[in-house]
A and B are shown apart, each in its own frame.
Chain A
Amino acid sequence: MTPTDSLSRASSRRAGRRSLAGTLERVLPRLVVAPSLAVALFFVYGYMLWTFILSLTGSRMLPQYNFVGLEQYARLFANERWHVAATNLVVFGGLFIAICLVLGLALAIFLDQRIRQEGALRTIYLYPMALSLIVTGVVWRWLLNPSLGIEALVQSWGFENFRFDWLVDPDMAIYTLVIAAVWQASGFVMALFLAGLRGIDDSLFKAAALDGASLPRVYWRIVLPCLRPVVFSAVMILAHIAIKSFDLVMALTGGGPGYATDLPATFMYAHTFTRGQIGLGSASAIMMLCGVLAILIPYLYSELRERKHG
């Protein structure tokens, strides 16, 4: 819309309205939303573009606009540390999502059996979600401390050969992130599934019981398919948490031993803010954005399609 266009529109509209106040009322809703839209355009979309542009430059300590094409992406994919970080994300994200789903669904189904004190149990399963990932990292670092934590505890019970030193083992350290993250988020998945289960019509169970189906069978064949949208949402949210994971790594392993537990988020931060590689860091940030979009777009697509088809 050109300015003159909107002007003539406004004036023709005004002619049809009773007063100036009426016109004001008409534009007020737009006026009220406009600042937020402007903020989003600048701070979200503008910044995405800005970071993309930076990723095409040779910026090091400070942003510079000497364009080098896709060189930073080539460097990124040739970077050993990035490979470790990307592989770690696949391992960490995959395990984190899978275990949270299984555990969350199991807890939700068990809790849905008219359990006494359900509220208290639910509160206990969910409280870690209220904590900062830094707190979670600090606590688990203490629990996983080989000489004073769980390892020492189990050894003191008489199992002297018990080993649980994943935190300092470069090959196993990534799994400590999985443990802590599952502890933090599985209760949330439980809450999602529980809400989903409560939404299922009881007559389904009755019909299945009349047919003589066993309870596990009912859950597997009838309930689970009904929960498909919940599974979808949960995967979406968990994947999003996994891609953004930064705090937990910083507090639990610091990316170590070496860079064995680096994730894209810590890679990006280290290169952009401490190693003076803004161009490379920006390229990694854009790859993270692509990762989020790769999950988000199919999700939104299916959501919209479902809505259209009723």
Chain B
Amino acid sequence: MDNVIRRRTPRARLLRAGLYALLIAAALVYLLPLVVMVLTSVKPIEEIRAGALLSLPSHFTLDPWIKAWSSACTGMRCDGLSGYFVNSIKIVVPAVAISTLVGAINGYALTKWRFRGSELVFAMLLFGCFVPFQVVLMPMARTLGWLGLASSVSGLVLVHVVYGIAFTTLFFRNYYVAVPDEMINAAKLDGAGFFRIFWRILLPVSGPIITVSVIWQFTQIWNDFLFGVAFAGFDSQPVTVALNNMVNTSTGVKEYNVDMAAAMIAALPTLVVYVLAGKYFVRGLTAGSVKG
């Protein structure tokens, strides 16, 4: 590797110090919003009104977090984010599980049991990754109404599964393409069937891509706002919609510390997943672009 500055001349040293300074400065800028969010969320409101965005709290308090969780107002109601947080979980868990399972089976069938037109089927499914969701909002609202799923958690699960399949199929297809065909062909000769081969040969090596798919779908669905705001009712709103309502509630005094605590609560699940499994998160992000 010669693409680095090797010689330790004074000039090179200076250059290298500058490089580190630049990188660290950039890191601080990226961190600033998170730091401010955390600091603001643990300060009493008087301290915030006094200014000093970056100062440490002189009276540390968790009251804003408690209020954001259990008693802050989101529009008409004042029982905090907790109920909406639970809604998000109820939407995310089944939607992630179903879309990942369907994606795995699709990816398997489209790579290891190619049939006439299977490439076309894949291309047609893939377009679902690109469609701007504004095009589907109104028809989906009508369809959910007919199905009796309007304003329900089940309706949102359906929507997220439907528009998640394109991505999960892409992930699994690209992953299974790289699994050698010899093993599968041998198993086929031995008389192993479709599901048996999937269960015994493909699934045991699918750990990484299942992780990628689960993390991707989890992040997408947890962070969704558009479907939530368009299709959810009062009892099924996800946490992002409730957070937006809370911040935009204009009655009473503006409590910035509660707003920031609420934002942290909405952000924590995906942040934790990112910190714990960042590698897979990046792979999900780049799966559709680098590998194509």
Q: Are B271 and A131 in contact, CB atoms less than 8 angstroms apart?
A: yes
A134-B225, A246-B225 known; A112 and B3 CB under 8 Å? yes
* Chain A nearest Cβ from B130, distance in angstroms: 6
**A110-B23, A150-B53 known; A134 vs B4 contact (CB < 8 Å):** no
Bound together, the chains give a CA A107 to CA B185 distance in angstroms of 46
Is there contact, CB below 8 Å, between A142 and B259?
yes
Contact A46 B139, beta carbon cutoff 8 Å = yes
Main secondary structure of the interface of B (DSSP, over half): helix
Is the interface on chain A under 10, 10 to 19, 20 to 34, or 35 or more residues? Answer: 35 or more
Residue numbers in B under 8 Å from A92 (CB-CB):
none
Contact residue among A37, A124, A202, A247 (Cβ-Cβ distance under 8 Å from B121): A37
Contacts of B134 in A (CB 8 A): 244, 246, 264-265, 268-269, 284-285, 288-289
Give 13 new A-B contacts, CB below 8 A, not counting A132-B240, A139-B37, A269-B137. A29-B115, A40-B128, A47-B135, A113-B3, A130-B270, A131-B270, A142-B259, A143-B32, A153-B53, A183-B30, A218-B3, A269-B229, A296-B130
Within 251-292 of B, Cβ neighbours of A (below 8 Å) are at 256, 259-260, 262-263, 266-267, 270-271, 273-275, 278, 281-282, 285-286, 288-290, 292
Q: Nearest CB to that of A190 among chain B residues? A: B26
- Cross-chain contact B247 with A123 (CB below 8 angstroms): no
B interface size (C-beta, 8 A) = 93
* CB atoms of B33 and A39 under 8 A apart: no
**Does A205 count as interface, using CB distance less than 8 angstroms?**
yes
Inter-subunit contact B243/A134 (CB<8 Å) = yes
Instruction: Enumerate chain A interface residues (CB-CB to B < 8 A).
Output: 21, 25, 28-30, 32-33, 35-37, 39-41, 43-48, 50-51, 54, 63, 107, 110-115, 121, 123-143, 145, 148-150, 152-153, 156, 183, 187-188, 191-192, 195-196, 202, 205-206, 209, 215, 218, 230, 233-234, 236-237, 240, 243-244, 246-247, 250-251, 254, 264-265, 268-269, 272-273, 278, 281-282, 284-286, 288-289, 291-292, 296, 303
- A40 contact from B54, B166, B222, Cβ within 8 A: B166
B109: CB under 8 A from chain A? Answer: yes
A142 adjacent to B106 (CB under 8 Å): no
> Which of B1, B27, B124, B256 meets A148, CB within 8 Å?
B256
Contacts of A150 in B (CB 8 A): 53
B66 contacts chain A at the CB level, 8 A cutoff: no
Chain B residues with CB under 8 Å of chain A are: 1-5, 16, 19-20, 22-24, 26-27, 30-34, 36-37, 40, 48-49, 51-54, 102, 105-106, 109-110, 113, 115, 118, 121, 124-125, 127-128, 130-140, 142, 162-163, 165-166, 169, 193-194, 219, 222-226, 229-230, 240, 243-244, 247-248, 256, 259-260, 262-263, 266-267, 270-271, 273-275, 278, 281-282, 285-286, 288-290, 292
**Bound-complex Cα distance A246 to B165 (A):** 22
CB contact between A113 and one of B4, B110, B260, B273 (< 8 Å): that residue: B4
Q: Give the docked Cα–Cα distance between A138 and B242 (Å).
A: 12
A191 contacts which chain B residues (CB < 8 A)? Answer: 282, 285-286
Tally of A-B Cβ pairs under 8 angstroms: 270
Question: Do residues A140 and B135 form an inter-chain contact, with CB atoms below 8 A?
Answer: no
* Structural contact, A240 and B130, CB atoms closer than 8 A: yes
Determine the chain B residues whose CB is within 8 A of the CB of A156 once the complex forms.
51-52
Closest residue of chain A to B266 (Cβ to Cβ) is A135
15 contacts between A and B (CB under 8 A): A25-B194, A30-B109, A35-B102, A47-B139, A48-B131, A54-B139, A63-B142, A110-B23, A130-B219, A134-B266, A139-B36, A142-B259, A142-B260, A188-B285, A195-B290
